Amino acid sequence: MRRELLLVREMRDPAVTIIDLVGDRNAEEIRGEALRRSALLWHFTVLGEAASQVTGELRDSHPCVAWRAAARLRNGIVHGYWNIDVDTLVATAVDDLPQMVKDLESLIEVLRR
C-alpha cells in the first residue's frame, strides 16, 4: 500500500500545482508564457505517469478518479508534444482537476489507514 500512497500523492501534488499555474489565466495568456506552458506540460506529465503506474486493483476500487484520462493526456504530451492543445490543458485544469484533487485527497486518507 505504501507505493500506491506515494503514487497518489504524486498525482495530487502536480494537480494542485497545475491549478495554481493556470489560476485565472486563459489559454491565450498561457500560450504567451513559454515558461508557464512548459511547467504545465511537466506537471501534467508527472500526474499522468503516476496515474499509469497505479495498480489495476486500486483503479478498479476507486473509479471516480480519472486514471486513464490522466495517463492518456501524459501520453499525448510525451509522444505528440507539438500537437498539445493549450485550450485542453487550461480546460482540464479549471474543469476537472479541482474534483480530482478532492478525490485524491480522500483516497490518500483511505490509504493512510
Domain holding 7, by residue range, is: 2-112
Q: Please tell me the predicted confidence (pLDDT) of residue 81.
A: 63
**pLDDT tens digits, the chain, 113 residues: what are they?**
699 999 999 999 999 999 999 999 999 999 999 999 999 999 999 999 999 999 999 999 999 999 999 999 999 999 986 678 899 999 999 999 999 999 999 999 999 98
State the pLDDT at residue 80: 82
Of the candidates 99, 107, 113, which has an alpha carbon nearest to the alpha carbon of residue 16? 99
SS3 93: helix
Burial class (CB in 10 A: 0-12, 13-18, 19+), 107: buried
Number of domains in the chain: 1
Nearest to 47 by CA among 97, 95, 90: 97
CA dihedral over 40, 28, 104, 72, signed as positive or negative: negative
